[in-house]
A and B are shown apart, each in its own frame.
Chain A
Amino acid sequence: MLVQNDKRCTMNIVWIVVAIIIFTILPNFISGYYIRILTAIFMYAVLSQCINLMSGYMGYLPFGHVMFFGIGAYMTAILMRGNLPFIVAMLLASLSAIVVSIILGFPVLRLRGHYFAIATIGMNGALMTVVQNIDITGGARGTTFPIIMLPPGQVYSYFYYAFLALMIITTFAIYFIVNSRFGFAIRSIKANEDAANSMGINTTNTKVVTWAIAALFTSIAGGLYGYWMSFIAPDEVFDLMFITNSIIMMLIGGAGTILGPVIGAFIVETVSEFAWSGFMEYHLAVLGIITIIIVFFVPGGVIGTITEKIRDRKIAASIKSEVAANDR
């Protein structure tokens, strides 16, 4: 899986570079409407990738993870009103998200399974209520970002490239994390937390650090989203639908695979934009049914199913060659 398959590895790198180049030059050929859709896809890919790290790789589904999205958006807005440039405000905001994730992580990551998921929802709700009721965030009316000083066309491509870069960075970062020594600890926790602990893995620290990494990328996405929308309200950036969508994308693309969330984001966003825009809210029901079907019949998602096929073929070939060697 790591370096055994040099040829396939090189091919993958070639495909990824080609895809990156295509998406880099694409805005020159398409209209603002498509640029906006692609930007949303990239943003969802980032969120889905963070959910994938937590749930797909570590087995902890952080349903209320959108709280870091909200923290990122609000902290960026507040700091930018304090006349900080966007990049600085965004980085400080993500730092605060990391601090929050560590403080909350130590108590809440002791919970397992559904209890953890529900606890994070509660925390998200609590945080949203706080944001709705204090002055510095503008209360329930929401808050605005400073106007971006660019012509409208460039604003579109500004956020297109920002989210594209964030998606690429997030995906590569998570790829290197899960294939490192630390990644084996993350995957062991999903597989069997007690066994992981008895093998010398500090499970508590591993879980908290992983959550902090997920919070980092989510909060950057939140800051960018807020600046993109230029106006944010509490019930918008703390909306659990962001996470619900991200989970569906992860499941369709393939949980616990590195490209799954990206593929899933493309599939779900494209389909909901073009096929279901006429049906309004019905598409939520359809998404729900699709999710159930996937969990029951194709639990690996798109990428997971493909890699499973490849591995099965490899093992079958090795058994075949062994049998042939014995016959001789």
Chain B
Amino acid sequence: MIDNNNVILDVRAISRHFGALKAVDRVSFQVRKGEIIGLIGPNGAGKTTITNLVTGDLKKNAGEVHYKGTDVSSMQPFQIARIGLTRTYQIVKPLQGMTVEENVLVGSLYGRGNRINDLSNARKTVHDVMELVGLYKKKDFMVSDVTLPDLKRMEFARVLAMDPEVVFLDEVMAGLNPSEVEESMELVKKVREDRQLTIVYIEHIMKAVMGISDRIIVLHHGKKICEGSPQEVRDNPAVIEAYLGKKYAKEVMKANE
């Protein structure tokens, strides 16, 4: 399922500064087709900024982003979305004044290659996707009338309706209760299988990240401090230090020995 020779997304030394603050500082990583990559780090580590840089919502200061061999780092967000590289937002961005169904419909109408021109076809895709994420019953609700977890589901459905190849999921599980997190993890796995998706997964819920990621990238103060399998990341002293501080890192290392 994971094609080791097929690097679909190649981020090369990307940087972004806000004044003197180096939000993202020469971060490089590769994503292979079919992988689920966990992108973690303490608050303010630069996870969302990287997402913004890759999907074109923010302009980079330096570096390159290669998606399927082409440099997309100077393209507009809509162009990037149309070639199959999409994202959800940590702070949900529903299309206000529309129903849940219409929100997903827009994704289906304008997604990759904007191939679905006809509304009834698009509607069918939308119904399938909404069934998948468990939102079909609420399709006629206005987005202002549904709860935050439902909005997160809707954003996920909207992205899936766009028929992407690589998806950045920015904290889709925030605000969910433990059983919903469980459901959501199953959903992400299922979707990866069904649609041959490649997923970059940003999350604070460690149980979820450790449970579904093939590889994990850890950011701290805008720099990549570690990359590897969940087990490697868990045992890495730099990671423990970033999360727990120097003192506890030493204690943990001692205890491990």
If A2-B119, A318-B140 touch, whether A191 touches B95 (CB-CB below 8 Å) is yes
Structural contact, A191 and B110, CB atoms closer than 8 A: no
A200 partner, pick from B78, B93, B102, beta carbons under 8 A: B78
Could you tell me if A192 and B93 are in contact, using CB atoms closer than 8 angstroms? yes
A265 to B162, CA, bound (A): 40
The reply on A72 being an interface residue by CB < 8 A is no
Interface size class of B (residues with CB under 8 A): 35 or more
Among B82-90, B208-216, B218-226, the stretch in contact with A? B82-90
Q: Whose C-beta in chain B lies nearest to the C-beta of A3? A: B120
Q: Say yes or no for B198: interface residue by CB 8 A criterion.
A: no
Docked-complex contact A199 and B140, CB < 8 angstroms = no
Report A52 CB to chain B, min CB distance, Å: 14
Q: Which of A272-328 contact B (CB under 8 A)?
A: 311, 314-315, 318, 322
Query: Judging by beta carbons under 8 Å apart, are B111 and A191 in contact?
Result: no
Give a binary string over B48-84; 1 marks a CB under 8 Å from any A CB, 0 the rest: 0000000111000000000000000000111001100
Interface string of A240-266 (1 = CB under 8 A from B): 000000000000000010000000000
- Pick from B78, B86, B87, B105: contact of A201, CB under 8 Å: B78
Q: Chain A: which residue is nearest B113 at the CB level?
A: A200
Give the contacting residue for A192; candidates B94, B105, B110, B114; CB below 8 A: B94
Q: Are B110 and A201 in contact (CB under 8 A)?
A: yes
- Residue of A180, A192, A200 contacting most chain B CB atoms (<10 Å): A200
Interface residues of A in 154-196 (CB under 8 A from B): 180-181, 184-185, 187-188, 190-192, 194-196
Closest residue of chain A to B109 (Cβ to Cβ) is A181
Asked if A184 and B109 make an inter-chain contact with CB atoms under 8 angstroms apart, the answer reads yes
Interface pair B87/A198, CB less than 8 Å apart:
yes
**Complex interface: chain A residues within 8 A of B87 (CB):** 198
B107 on the A face (CB < 8 A)? yes
**Does B256 sit within 8 A of A, measured CB to CB?**
no
Q: Return the contact of B77 from the options A190, A191, A197, A315 (Cβ within 8 A).
A: A197
* Residues of chain A in range 189-248 having any CB-CB distance to chain B below 8 Å: 190-192, 194-203
Expressed in whole angstroms, the Cα–Cα distance for A202 and B114 within the complex equals: 11
Residue B187, interface by CB 8 Å: no
A181 in complex: contacting residue of B89, B95, B117, B141, CB < 8 Å: B117
B window 98-125: CB within 8 A of A: 98, 102, 105-107, 109-112, 114, 117, 119, 122
The winner among A197, A199, A201, A202 for most chain B CB atoms within 10 A is A199
One of A185, A191, A202, A203 near B97 (C-beta < 8 A): A191
Q: Which residue of A lies closest to B105 (CB)?
A: A184
Chain A interface size range: 20 to 34
CA distance A216 to B106 in the complex (A): 26
Inter-subunit contact B119/A181 (CB<8 Å): yes
B162 and A199 contact, CB distance less than 8 A: yes
B95 & A200 in contact (Cβ 8 Å cutoff):
no
Of the candidates B110, B137, B142, the one having the most CB atoms from chain A within 10 angstroms of its own CB is: B110
A114 to chain B, nearest CB (A): 19
Within 8 Å CB of B142, what residues of A?
311
Known: A184-B105, A192-B93. A198 touches B81 (CB 8 A): yes
Nearest B residue to A197, CB-CB: B77
CB within 8 A of B76: which of A180, A197, A311?
A197
Contact of B106 among A188, A194, A314 (CB under 8 A): A188
CA gap between A188 and B93 in the complex, in Å: 11
Q: Least Cβ distance of A92 to chain B in Å? A: 32
**Inter-chain contacts of A188 with B (CB < 8 A):** 95, 98, 106
- B110's partner among A190, A200, A256, A322 (CB-CB below 8 A) is A200
**Option from B82, B95, B140, B145 in Cβ contact (under 8 Å) with A195:** B95
- B89 closest partner in A (C-beta): A195
Give A10-68 interface residues, CB cut-off 8 Å to B.
Answer: none
Bound-state CA distance A198–B55 (Å) is 8
Further pairs besides A181-B110, A191-B94, A195-B89: 19, Cβ < 8 Å: A181-B122, A184-B105, A184-B109, A185-B110, A187-B98, A188-B95, A191-B95, A191-B96, A195-B93, A195-B94, A196-B95, A197-B81, A198-B56, A198-B81, A200-B114, A202-B76, A203-B78, A315-B140, A315-B141
B contact residues vs A (CB 8 Å cutoff): 55-57, 76-78, 81-82, 86-87, 89, 93-98, 102, 105-107, 109-112, 114, 117, 119, 122, 137, 140-142, 145, 158, 162
* 6 interchain pairs, CB-CB under 8 A: A180-B119, A190-B97, A191-B97, A192-B96, A198-B78, A198-B81
The 9 nearest A-B residue pairs measured at CB: A191-B95, A195-B93, A200-B81, A200-B110, A197-B77, A198-B77, A200-B82, A191-B96, A201-B110
